[in-house]
């Protein structure tokens, strides 16, 4: 039986790396994409590609090198920045947040969706802040809300091609991106989370595998936040 093939964009990040490991363990062959950071040497991949998702031409050129159909695409490239009031946010920071988190996801979706075989699926990684918004995270929240609605729209567009498009919105996950929180701030988050802990990259990876395996779910956004925004 031929192994399924998965394309993971953002595989050099904390969440992307763990998703790639989980997919490999589940029996997928892998195509890994990243920009900054190192690919995990312990993860076997058929191809490793580097590009900046903000640059549409780079995305197009890189993904055009893939000559085979894939079963699954996971787009988890993204950036965050320090919490600030919108009026205090530098314009270049605003541009980077929107261009990476929203436009970057749009470009990846545009050029990756045609690679997906019938019966396959795409999973975008958004954020729980895209569901409810957050003070001092206005731009990031807006960009991730765009990813959620992009996902819903593309689920309708690609239904005719038998390709499912879903989204995962992680809560506070233990990654380098959240290292800026003090121990007291982390404890406050834990105290306000019904599950009683912060999330892990493995929690997100499990949701990806669930969506990849369930062929009757499309256009959905699964919030993986331990109940924080119930």
Listed residue (54, 4, 62) closest to 32, CA to CA: 62
**What Cα–Cα distance (Å) separates residue 130 from each residue in 74, 94, 124, 142, 153?**
18, 16, 13, 6, 16
Q: In the annotation, is 140 catalytic?
A: yes
pLDDT at 23: 98
> Helices 91-98 & 138-157, crossing angle to 10 degrees?
20
The pLDDT profile of the chain, 230 residues, written as one tens digit per residue, is: 679 999 999 999 999 999 999 999 999 999 999 998 899 999 999 999 999 999 999 999 999 999 999 999 999 999 998 889 999 999 999 999 999 999 999 999 999 999 999 999 999 999 999 999 899 999 999 999 999 999 999 999 999 999 999 999 999 999 887 777 889 989 999 999 999 999 999 999 999 999 999 999 999 999 999 999 98
pTM (two decimals): 0.96
CB atoms within 10 A of CB 25: 11
Listed residue (43, 45, 44, 63) closest to 53, CA to CA: 63
Q: Report angle CA 108, 14, 170 to the nearest 5 degrees.
A: 75
**What Cα–Cα distance (Å) separates residue 139 from each residue in 91, 179, 189, 220?**
11, 20, 21, 23
pLDDT at 219: 98
Counting Cα atoms < 13 Å in the Cβ hemisphere of 220 gives 15
Contact by Cβ (8 Å): 165, 149: no
The rounded distance, in Å, linking the Cα atoms of 51 and 151 is 22
CB atoms within 10 A of CB 216: 5
**Active-site residue identified among 28, 107, 111, 140:** 140
**What Cα–Cα distance (Å) separates residue 27 from each residue in 44, 122, 143?**
11, 17, 33
Burial of 70 (0-12, 13-18, 19+ CB in 10 A): buried
Domain 5-222 listed as CATH 3.40.50.1400: no
The rounded distance, in Å, linking the Cα atoms of 57 and 177 is 27
How does DSSP classify residue 227? Answer: T
């Amino acid at each position: 039986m031929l192994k399924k093939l998965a394309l993971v964009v953002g595989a050099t990040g904390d969440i992307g790396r763990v998703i790639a490991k989980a997919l490999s363990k589940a029996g997928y062959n892998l195509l890994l994409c990243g920009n900054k950071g190192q690919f995990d040497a312990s993860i076997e991949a058929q191809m490793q590609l580097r590009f900046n998702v903000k640059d549409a031409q780079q995305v197009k050129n890189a993904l055009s090198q893939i000559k085979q159909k894939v079963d699954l695409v996971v787009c988890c490239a993204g950036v965050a920045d320090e919490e600030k009031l919108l009026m205090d946010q530098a314009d270049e920071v605003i541009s980077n947040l929107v261009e990476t988190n929203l436009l970057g996801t749009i470009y990846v979706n545009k050029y990756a969706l045609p690679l997906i075989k019938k019966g396959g699926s795409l999973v975008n990684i958004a954020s729980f802040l895209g569901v409810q918004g957050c003070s001092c995270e206005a731009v990031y929240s807006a960009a991730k809300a765009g990813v959620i609605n992009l996902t819903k729209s593309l689920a309708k567009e690609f239904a005719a091609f038998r390709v499912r498009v879903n989204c995962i919105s992680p809560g506070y996950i233990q990654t380098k991106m959240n290292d800026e929180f003090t121990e007291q701030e982390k404890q406050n988050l834990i105290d306000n989370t019904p599950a009683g802990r912060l999330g892990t990259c493995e929690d997100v990876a499990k949701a990806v595998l669930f969506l990849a395996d369930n062929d009757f779910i499309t256009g959905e956004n699964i919030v993986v936040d331990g109940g924080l925004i119930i």
